[in-house]
Amino acid sequence: MYALSHHNEGLPAIGELPASCVPRFDGTVISFASGEEVVGAGDPTKNYFRVIRGLFRAVNFTPDGRRQVFAFYTPGDFCGLEPDGTHQLTIEAVDCATMAILPRDGYRLRMNDPEVNSALFEGATRALALTIDHMMMIGRSSAEERLAWFLTMLAARSGGSRAPVLELAMQRQDIADYLGLSIETVSRTFTLFKDRGLINLPHKRLVQILRLDALARLAAADRDAAPIHLELWEPEPAAAAA
Amino acid sequence: MYALSHHNEGLPAIGELPASCVPRFDGTVISFASGEEVVGAGDPTKNYFRVIRGLFRAVNFTPDGRRQVFAFYTPGDFCGLEPDGTHQLTIEAVDCATMAILPRDGYRLRMNDPEVNSALFEGATRALALTIDHMMMIGRSSAEERLAWFLTMLAARSGGSRAPVLELAMQRQDIADYLGLSIETVSRTFTLFKDRGLINLPHKRLVQILRLDALARLAAADRDAAPIHLELWEPEPAAAAA
DNA sequence: CGGAATGTTGAGACTAGTCAACCATAGTGG
DNA sequence: CCACTATGGTTGACTAGTCTCAACATTCCG
């Protein structure tokens, strides 16, 4: 369990949050150290969770130790939306991060509140939609396509910039287990992308995207597409008017 | 779209359904021919669906034609639970089958009905749970483990018998695309299971499970488990008391 | 500076994919 | 009733991509 060790050593309290982050959900906010467990597989499903700060991951293990990372959760993301009495996934903090704990009982009592309902339902269906993509990728893509998909997704999440610099909070093993690859293959594919000029790796945890267009095309798993040329991915409409 | 061609040629009408199948959901029931599309990827999300009879599949394609079967739906299953304005998945009839069409508008109007809400939410989270398993399997399992997982799942769905005979309504290509394998590998693995005495294949579409215990162990992806011995999978408690 | 953890690179093995031939079954029409 | 065909399924030979194991490099931290 997440152990009520809310050691908020100088971390921002709930007061600092943007209002949009915890709308009409009153929950306890708890901080987790890197690697610390929020819930473990098999724990009773007492709460929902919402990320306040930092990065979390949902993982699952086979009996013989193979590991699959099911999702990464960033601020604003809901998680813990599982049916039945026990959690199927373990949720852990990737780096030092904070989470709002939202007791399920409270929601059950408010089952008639349409806003709560649609928020929960929306969360579940949105997770489902993402998972469809994820599964498609794992089931049918090459190593290159998988990593390209991952980087493209991170770039999209991180906001609008056309050549974003991504800070990878997770380590290679997490990426590998998220993409269904071995850590070595992930590493080799990073190197490959660097050698091809698609990215820069100023630091192991820092990825500068140089050719988002090329990555996006790879990610789309469209092997019939033209083999990459140097057009801008999304020319500014303002500039185009000149 | 699903074309209002409800050609109910001698098929059971909704009156024949067990009451539990369409509880308090009043929708039009439509029949589909084998391979016929219920909704296509990109169609607007106007309805939810509930399988009445037969088998449906949810599929997705990459731009270059690779195919992934996301799920099979059997009677009682909900589907069409997707967010946003358009469907991500194509839903098709595998064999000749019927589906209840449940207009979303109707549900929105009944957002305050707690029963409808929990049914929808339950459907979404249950789909999510299944998908977690599915993804774990696709991401981290060998061909043998995947097929064992598939057969074990079908056996569990088909009811209690300890040595069930499964009728596969779907063809090998569907199984392959569901498991993220090639059709040849699926075929070879069937043959392998037969040669090992785990199953019998009286007909291509008929699988007799001989060693559910062994399949279940394979499916659990537990490579450290004892290498299969002939204990009964689930000895009858009554018999054990003797 | 030393040690541990993390990441990269290389060589070889192995699983599953691809391509191609073959087989089985179910219709269809003479 | 029997070719003839179409479809779906199986099998074999070969290939390619990824994993495994091992060595090495780098970064982090005490």
Identify the CA nearest to B146 among candidates B212, B70, B221.
Answer: B221
Whether the pLDDT of residue B239 is over 80: the answer is no
Q: Alpha-carbon distance A128 to A133, whole Å? A: 9
Distance CA B67 to C1' C29 in A: 37
In the structure, what pLDDT confidence band is assigned to residue B16 with cuts at 50, 70 and 90?
very low
- A83–B129 CB contact, under 8 Å: yes
User: Any idea what DSSP says for residue A44?
Assistant: B
SS3 B178: helix
Question: What are A29-51's pLDDT values in tens digits?
Answer: 999 999 999 999 999 999 999 99
- Residues in chain A closer than 8 A to B66 (CB atoms): 140, 221
Distance CA B213 to C1' C23 in A: 32
The mean-pLDDT minimum among B15-19, B86-90, B98-102 falls in B15-19
Identify the CA nearest to A213 among candidates A204, A222, A205.
Answer: A222
In the chain, the amino acid numbered B154 is L
Q: Alpha-carbon distance A27 to A5, whole Å? A: 15
Smallest Cα distance from A13 to chain B, Å: 31
Q: Looking at residue A213, what is its pLDDT?
A: 93
Name which residue leads in pLDDT, A238 or B71.
B71
Nucleotide showing the shortest C1' distance to residue A174 CA = C6
Strands (E), chain B: 28-32, 37-39, 47-53, 56-61, 67-73, 78-79, 90-93, 97-103, 165-167, 199-203, 206-209
Name which residue leads in pLDDT, B224 or A217.
A217
Question: What are A179-207's pLDDT values in tens digits?
Answer: 999 999 999 999 999 999 999 999 999 99
Map A182-222 to HEC letters: CHHHHHHHHHHHHHCCCEEEEECCEEEECCHHHHHHHHCCC
Residues of chain A that touch chain B, judged by Cβ-Cβ distance less than 8 Å: 60, 62-64, 66-68, 70, 81-84, 88-89, 111-112, 114, 117-118, 120-122, 124-129, 131-136, 138-140, 180, 220-225
Whether the pLDDT of residue A98 is over 60: the answer is yes
| The two three-digit tokens of residue B3, written as one number | 């074309």
Protein residues with Cβ atoms closer than 7 angstroms to any atom of nucleic acid strand D? A 142-144, 180-182, 184-185, 203-204; B 171-173, 183-184, 186-188, 190-191, 201, 204-205
Smallest Cα distance from B5 to chain A, Å: 29
Q: Looking at residue A209, what is its pLDDT?
A: 95
Q: Percentage of chain B with pLDDT > 70?
A: 75
Q: Mean pLDDT, chain A, as a whole number?
A: 80
Name which residue leads in pLDDT, B230 or A47.
A47
State which nucleotides on strand C lie below 7 Å from a protein beta carbon.
6-11, 15-20, 25
Q: Alpha-carbon distance A223 to B61, whole Å? A: 13
In the chain, the amino acid numbered B80 is G
| The two three-digit tokens of residue B233, written as one number | 């999978």
The mean-pLDDT minimum among A208-212, B4-8, B59-63, B221-225 falls in B4-8
Protein residues with Cβ atoms closer than 7 angstroms to any atom of nucleic acid strand C? A 171-173, 183-184, 186-188, 190-191, 201, 204-205; B 142-144, 180-182, 184-185, 203-204
CA–CA distances in Å: residue A187 to residues A175, A192, B11: 10, 9, 56
